[in-house]
Chains A and B, each alone.
Chain A
């Protein structure tokens, strides 16, 4: 049911601290260079634009086990250093966005069960 819930992130106050990346990595038990959410930097030379925008990857399952079995908030939301993330039904997240327009709502759908992984190792022959 992940499609009906989502993550709201206040871009005005996201500091790019990467706690969400680390929290997610621990929660989904990912390797050191794997991501369930990744933070991107937008820094323009216009004297105005400097933002960090975290984007869930296709591995984000909105912390299904944690949320539904343990009754906790998603790991990224819980640990976010600037406390700028909310989890919940999309309709309620829209209310956050109306209040704080410089923000995003993501509606991630974990594809891990639905889509095959493509074997990127197949490029190895190039090295020979």
Chain B
């Protein structure tokens, strides 16, 4: 069609987050709308986060938003769970039913008997906790064993230094790479992440490529020779799950060779002598044996990192998935601390919400400030898992997922009866997924909120509410800096945003609810900033001033990190605690240590004879976010089938050729994937992340959820003893064989 004949295009500027590309977002985008329909998405050229660029998932937004299989109206189940039996309902009817059922659970069993379940860090997280607290349940949770995605890393940083740090890519200033204070990291360590296929919390994956282009030397720690590894100065194809040993080995080199930053260590850390003593237990020959890496390469990597002025380090989820993920994160935290890279241009910088706006509450302090003291102390004390996991009790604000599953089965100390599930497809995505499914199948009432039909909806939902993409909602966000706005461009069917859904239910479930409209609530969020809702919507993004707590550098020296305004870090000692006193208080080892994976040639040699390969699940494809998007045709075309990456030599030994269908089997079960040659360590196979077949949801009794799903091969109960980390999805055992015709 000729552009001149068409109705005019309206352009709405917004910021990506959650449904759409699926990610944790931050890209500035123009959404082009014609006749009420999304016709195009473009990156905003002068947006500091993405500078015009976008990933293929964001660029497929048109297809995603307008997908014919979107859920477009609420549905109430008419038949048995697990069957495709629904009737269309109005919002009023669906919300009345939910209100009625949740009030009944509260009256009969107490509000704590209802769970509020989210997956990854979607915008729904903040809204779910708001809903949970207004209803009166302390049991808001993430659907992942050991909270093993970023939370172990976050808590380790919180424990050791009182704040979270991210690699400095100049992301906290509007000038970005032109900021005169910013430095190119001389050394950039990429620890267990295929960053070019992903964007993370506070870091856009391709910022690492921008650093590489500007001269950073890379150290890539990954069993797979991925693209970043091919561009690295040093590639360390580590045995999965042994990250803790590697970190301790690097610390050993840096400390014993005197390569640490003595002035910084003296002035800003405590516990260095204890750490020095501890790392003596990890000489390089021992670490080399554990990690399958040559000692001299580990030493070279440690030296390159320590000598970098500055050095940055980006870490991925394998750190969390290591047997004691939180402890591994403590060790890596010590690496950037003793080398003095904290709050240094081009090193690691503290991430703080712009203007102190908390649009994604992470603490009860923020929650009570926002929503009022909605829950009495006795009620808060019922949060599941805090009696077992003191870190969950003192530093985390959610129910501990493994304890939740156990309590669902045991019914003690109180029964779990209902769940409000939003933005998660854990029937596919949780480790040991059948156990999770069984647990939630036993509940009396489940609500699932999603954009598409998923195995979780099919298996569990009694009511389904159709949610929206980021293009269909408003919002403000300070995660971290700058402050950004999401602006509604289109509406699809009867879909409502997670914010609208949770807001309306909170209003119904809490007679004392104090907000009239969502905009009232956004205005309340914005109060500390002095910025009006109109202004942030209009501008799209606003950076806080240079001297604010959300802007680097050297904030510990300038007294910007502590509530008392004194110089130092936000810990009891005011310093970075290399020997983490809080860990001691909770009865844990306060120094980093290495723990061998539960299933490995070392810990289970018998099993390793039967299953001689290391199974590393969860490798990412840029076409997908977690279990999503296999139903979006252009994205599926980029990665049409589930892949297992395997070294050609290993493949030959097992009688497999490139593109053969293979079974990957272990003591838990078997899955089927397409073999793809890769230059991965020959004793390791990598399976792609959270695959299911949306096209089989209705025809297959398991909704296409298991056949190609690596989580099927992961036993439950592998979470860390601290409750944070573990799950060990990267370090299991398996064998492979070719799928014979008709098998």
Contact = CB atoms under 8 A, between A and B. Distances in A.
Nearest to A35: B637
A3 B231 CA distance: 34
Query: How extensive is the interface on chain B, given as a class?
Result: 35 or more
Contacts of A52: 227
Interface stretch (A22-30, A54-62, A105-113): A22-30
Interface string A43-86: 10100001010000000000001000100000000111111000
B45 A65 contact: no
A127 to B, nearest CB: 21
A80 B679 CA distance: 26
B743 interface: no
A17 interface: yes
Contact of B52 (A17, A33, A45, A78): A78
Interface stretch (B53-61, B364-372, B440-448, B503-511): B53-61
Nearest to B32: A26
A33 B636 CA distance: 9
Interface residues of A, number: 26
B634 A33 contact: yes
B230 A80 contact: no
Contact of A13 (B45, B213, B633, B638): B213
Nearest to A65: B3
B396 interface: no
B679 A43 contact: yes
A22 B59 CA distance: 6
Interface in B14-49: 40-43, 45
B485 to A, nearest CB: 22
Contacts of B55: 17, 19, 22, 81
Contacts, number: 87
Contacts of B209: 13, 15, 81-82
B210 A78 contact: no
Interface in A108-125: none
Nearest to B678: A43
Contacts of B648: 45
A79 B43 contact: yes
Interface in B224-240: 225, 227, 230-231
Contacts of A19: 53-56, 59
A32 B67 CA distance: 12
A81 B62 contact: no
A22 B623 CA distance: 10
A83 B3 contact: no
B622 interface: yes
B212 interface: yes
Contacts of B197: 17
B539 interface: no
Contacts of B231: 12-13
Interface of A: 12-13, 15-19, 21-23, 25-26, 32-33, 43, 45, 50, 52, 65, 69, 78-83
Closest 8 CB pairs of A and B: A32-B633, A50-B230, A22-B59, A32-B634, A22-B56, A15-B196, A81-B206, A82-B209
Given A18-B622, A26-B59, A50-B227, 12 more contacts: A12-B231, A13-B212, A17-B56, A18-B56, A23-B59, A26-B60, A32-B63, A43-B679, A78-B45, A79-B42, A80-B53, A82-B209
